[in-house]
Amino acid sequence: MRNRGRWCQAVLLVVLLLAGAWTVGAQTLTGDARRGEAFYVGTQSFAQGGAPCLACHGIAGAGLGLAAGANFGPDLTDMHGNFGTDGVLSVLDSLTDFASMEPIYAGRPLTAGEQADVAAFLAEVSGQTPFEAGARLMGHVAVWTGALLVVLAVAGWGRFKGARRPLVESARMRKGGLQ
């Protein structure tokens, strides 16, 4: 009977230790989306010196569509939605498995923390509606073009009259006056 009590205590201790280890593991996989965004766009460097993700991959959902010429790799807006956290972490852990990424990340793997941060950022932007700059950009271009034309017209109005007057006088003198 005594052995049974010790055995139950041992099992309980193992369960508690495993639960604690699982919790610690879960905490290390919980990334910071802001830090992940900084890694993604390159405002914070990866520890091993790998290139920022935005160098090749856009995220239209975060307004990072074709920023910095990021059109080599696919848009990653829905990566987390398509593959889930485990899939994203698996991809980030094995970047050198992709032929185009192998030369960039060979010998420069992402740390577990960097992977978790980038995965948190990708989870945050997953499913967001792509940022549409087209209509707004066209509106800005139209307004600024109109403003520029008004400024040029106002600045040039006096010059037009000043240039026209001597030409008219010169024509009158050559023809002996206008009729």
Please report the pLDDT score of residue 38 as a whole number: 93
One domain for residues 19 and 95: no
Q: Give the domain extent around 15.
A: 1-30
Residues 62 and 115 reside in one and the same domain? yes
Dist. CA 139–CA 179, nearest whole Å = 50
The single-letter code of the amino acid at 129 is T
Same domain, 88 and 40: yes
Q: What's the CA angle centered on 86, arms 39 and 101, to 5 degrees? A: 50
Whether 88 contacts 79, CB under 8 Å: yes
Mark whether 140 and 86 lie in a shared domain: no
26 plus 36 within the same structural domain: no
Query: What sign does the dihedral 13-15-17-20 (CA atoms) show?
Result: negative
Same domain? For 42 and 110 the reply is yes
Same-domain status, 22 and 72: no
- Give the SS3 label for residue 77: coil
Number of compact structural domains in the chain: 3
Per residue of the chain (179 residues), give pLDDT as tens: 455 555 556 555 555 445 554 444 443 348 999 999 999 989 999 999 999 988 888 777 666 655 544 567 888 888 888 899 999 999 999 998 988 888 989 999 999 999 999 999 999 888 776 655 566 677 878 889 999 888 888 877 766 666 777 778 888 888 765 54
Cα–Cα distance measured from residue 37 to residue 161, given in angstroms and rounded to the nearest whole number: 57
Alpha-carbon distances, residue 173 vs 132, 164, 169 (angstroms): 61, 15, 6
Other CB atoms within a 10 A radius of the CB of residue 58 amount to: 24
Q: How far is Cα 21 from Cα 24, in angstroms, rounded to an integer?
A: 5
H or E element that contains 53:
none
Structure-token pair, residue 163: 């240039």
Altogether, the residues listed in the chain come to a count of: 179
Give pTM, 2 decimals: 0.56
54 and 96 co-located in one domain: yes
CATH code of 48's domain: 1.10.760
Whether residue 95 sits in one domain with residue 36: yes
